[in-house]
Amino acid sequence: MRRVLSYARSFDQLVIQHPEEPSLGGAGEVTEGEIATRLGLPAVTPMAEIIMIERDLRLVEITGARFHIAHVSTAAGIDAIRQAKAAGLPVTCDTAPPYFALNETAIGDYRTFAKLSPPLRSETDRRAVVAGLADGTIDAIASDHAPWDQDSKRLPFSSATCGIVGLETLLPLSLELYHNHHLELIEVLRRLTVNPARILGLEVGRLTPGRPADLVLFDPDVPWRIDTERFRSKSKNAPFDGRPVQGHAVQTVVDGRTIFARAG
């Protein structure tokens, strides 16, 4: 990893890491704790994420490479990133809606639609993710979109694939941070648009002259209930079915062309 970071620094390239120490996390299916014990499922310790984050931050300190940590999910991991940023290291990170909208109890009685990698964490970790978004430690919100066919998810928990559909619920779940008074609306949008574009060095994500005419017109307040059967995706593997939310897209424009318009 040090060699990877050194080469990336030479070419000013970004390195993105899924932070999990494989010898600690490889066989785990849910986060370590009461739920794992009660269900009798192999557990992955949160330390698998934290140890990898701390290792890589030390290597960034040596190399000076630009480094991005994907879908952070633990309080200690977020705190390590917070300290690295305070020390001036070129580090960014993101999380995904499941890690601020759900905790490990969403697994219920072996609900494979709530099986993710990293796994859903404790309520303490969930609150830490919200706090990390609120104070700017977490730069971006990613969909972590992982569509799977029904046969890959409707299996015994240990055999089911990790991952959920994320694109169609990204906006309303992120808007919960606004409706619950954790972030201002502009800060939610910044983590969905400008910040990811800046991290990746893309000329998108902002409405300015000369930029691509990409935009989403949305109503932030309209109430509705998530119904996976109405997803446009062929995949329906989402743990949010039936969840009441506020806000949905009305129109989507890409490069000046309308590609989606809500009927009515």
The pTM for the full model equals: 0.94
Spatial separation of the C-alpha atoms in residues 33 and 35, rounded to whole Å: 6
Q: What are phi and psi of 96, to 5 degrees?
A: -135, 155
Rounded Cα distance between 14 and 23, Å, is 25
pLDDT in tens, the chain (264 residues): 999 999 999 999 999 999 999 998 777 899 999 999 999 999 999 999 999 999 999 999 999 999 999 999 999 999 999 999 999 999 999 999 999 999 999 999 999 999 999 999 999 999 999 999 999 999 999 999 999 888 898 899 999 999 999 999 999 999 999 999 999 999 999 999 999 999 999 988 888 888 888 999 999 999 999 999 999 888 998 999 999 999 999 999 998 899 999 886
CA distance 146 to 165: 5
249, 220 contact by CB (below 8 A): no
Structure tokens at 143: 């969909």
Neighbours of 253 (CB within 10 A): 16
Q: Where are the domains of the chain?
A: 2-207
**Residues 246/253, Cβ–Cβ less than 8 Å:** no
The predicted structure's pLDDT at residue 264? 63
Residues acting as catalytic residues:
144
C-alpha closest to that of 113 among 143, 149, 142: 149
Specify whether the CB–CB gap between 189 and 166 falls below 8 A: no
CATH of 2-207, one of 3.20.20.140, 3.40.50.11900, 3.90.1150.10, 1.10.300.10: 3.20.20.140
